[in-house]
Amino acid sequence: MTRILMAFALISLLVSCGGDTKEEKKEGVKIGGAKTEKKEDNSKVNLALSGNDLMQFDKKEFRVKAGQEVTLTLLHTGKIDIKVMGHNFVLLKPGIAIPAFSAKAAAAGEKSDWIPEGGKNVIAHTKMIGGGQSTSVTFTAPAPGTYDFICSFPGHSGLMRGKFIVE
């Protein structure tokens, strides 16, 4: 019996020590040998702008490159209805006076979505939206320069305005 216990102890010792084992290092397999770099698409840009119930845009300036395809998404973060606190994004052509444009927008009224003269002084604009709504517009960035953007809802352009800089 002692021999059996001694043999069992010796086998257990050899198994638990493991002897001379080597760690195997696994290497990842590379498929295709050439590295490909991800190229940025500078021909398109997505912009986000929000307006609230206090007649404020969250941004006062945008910078884009001439000729870029611009998609601007406008979000109305407030709760007030479109008839009382509607917001839009209107990018004006160069040299357009904001007060004169705003007066014409107010006269044009809701039926024209507050865009006067069929938009002849506008580069791009979104539709008018109310609290909790969003909309977007896609357009090509104009020639280099600094352009004004506003909300054309009556009385809003005094506070809701900014610069759209095209480089």
Does residue 12 belong to any structural domain of this protein? Answer: no
Written as one string, the DSSP assignment of 8-64 is: HHHHHHHHHH--S--PPPP-PPP-SSS--PPPP-TTEEEEEEEE-TTS-BS-SEEEE
Residue 150 lies in a domain: yes
Under DSSP, the state recorded for 153 is: S
**Count: domains in the chain:** 1
Distances (CA, A) of 141 to 68, 74, 88, 153: 5, 17, 18, 23
Tell me whether residue 2 is in a domain. no
With respect to residue 37, please indicate whether it lies within any of the assigned structural domains.
no
The answer to the question of residue 15 being in a domain is: no
Residue-wise pLDDT for 18-30, tens only, equals: 444 444 444 545 5
**Between vectors from CA 144 to CA 63 and to CA 43, what angle results, nearest 5°?**
60
Residue 25 within a domain: no
The CATH number of residue 146's host domain is 2.60.40.420
Which domain does 112 fall in, by range?
44-166
Let me know if residue 18 belongs to a domain. Answer: no
- Contact predicate 95/122, CB 8 Å: no
Quick: pLDDT tens for 73-102.
Answer: 999 999 999 999 999 999 999 999 999 999
Per-residue pLDDT 10s for the chain (167 aa) are 545 444 444 454 444 454 444 444 445 455 555 555 555 668 999 999 999 999 999 999 999 999 999 999 999 999 999 999 999 999 999 999 999 999 999 999 999 999 999 999 999 999 999 999 999 999 999 999 999 999 999 999 999 999 999 99
Domain assignment present for residue 161? The answer is yes
* Per-residue pLDDT at 34: 52
pLDDT of res. 42? 84
How far is the C-alpha of 140 from the C-alpha of 96, rounded, in Å? 19
Q: 97: which 2 tokens?
A: 């006076």
